[in-house]
Chains A and B, each alone.
Chain A
Amino acid sequence: DADVTQTPRNRITKTGKRIMLECSQTKGHDRMYWYRQDPGLGLRLIYYSFDVKDINKGEISDGYSVSRQAQAKFSLSLESAIPNQTALYFCATSDTGGADTQYFGPGTRLTVL
């Protein structure tokens, strides 16, 4: 079984709808991250959490919110989706600090019409 899972894997929605992307991990890591991938822009950090009580904004947090329900679960919400939020979204986990390997989920492809 995969260490980091994301649901759904694909989602098509309409402008203005609320969307939640979910991430679960079985690695026992404290740190979890949400990234967005767009062609030519690499991965950009949306939000990150260093433990259950810690939530931090990344470089592109506007229009997004997160919830860390447990050590193993970190969800990303788009309160009112817009077309320029169409992208590939990745969840990742790491053990402790910046030198540690990040483990990525398979991604969620979101299309906002």
Chain B
Amino acid sequence: AQSVTQLGSHVSVSEGALVLLRCNYSSSVPPYLFWYVQYPNQGLQLLLKYTSAATLVKGINGFEAEFKKSETSFHLTKPSAHMSDAAEYFCAVSASSASKIIFGSGTRLSIRP
């Protein structure tokens, strides 16, 4: 079975600071990993995904994530936060092309001026 744990339900950073959102996964087979973002009053949209190619994945809006098998982690980073990055971020895992996606509980990112 697959599962995903997001550490920290709320993260607050200053504008221009590093953003780091943590995600650890559990999977009995090589996983597919995703980060989705939800802006206020909107549905989720894909930020980036890992599908067993390069371990460093670049996404939209300057975000990237690194797959670390030894640490079972897929943390999301952005070097410099913008006010527009304020949103809720969800990490998700899928085990294979035939399976469904399991979402984490989400991390709300706030940006301080």
Chain A contact residues, CB within 8 Å of chain B: 4, 33, 35, 40-45, 48, 58, 90, 92, 96-102, 104-107
- In the bound complex, residues from chain B placing their C-beta under 8 Å from that of A96 are 97
Given contacts A33-B100, A43-B90, A48-B100, contact A101 B46 (CB under 8 A): yes
Which of B14-22, B37-45, B67-75, B76-84 is found at the contact surface with chain A?
Answer: B37-45
Q: How far apart are B63's CB and chain A's nearest CB, in angstroms?
A: 15
A106 touches B32 (CB 8 A): no
List the count of A-B residue pairs having beta carbons below 8 Å apart: 61
Decide if A107 touches B43 in the complex (CB within 8 Å).
Answer: yes
Binding site for A on B (CB under 8 A): 6, 9, 32, 34, 36, 41-46, 49, 51, 90, 94-101, 103-106
The distance in angstroms between the C-alpha atoms of A104 and B51, with both chains bound, is 20
A100: which B residues are within 8 A, CB to CB? 97
Asked, given contacts A90-B43, A104-B44, whether A97 binds B99 with beta carbons under 8 Å apart, the answer is: yes
> Is B9 a contact of A40 with CB atoms below 8 Å?
yes
Are A98's CB and B43's CB within 8 A? no
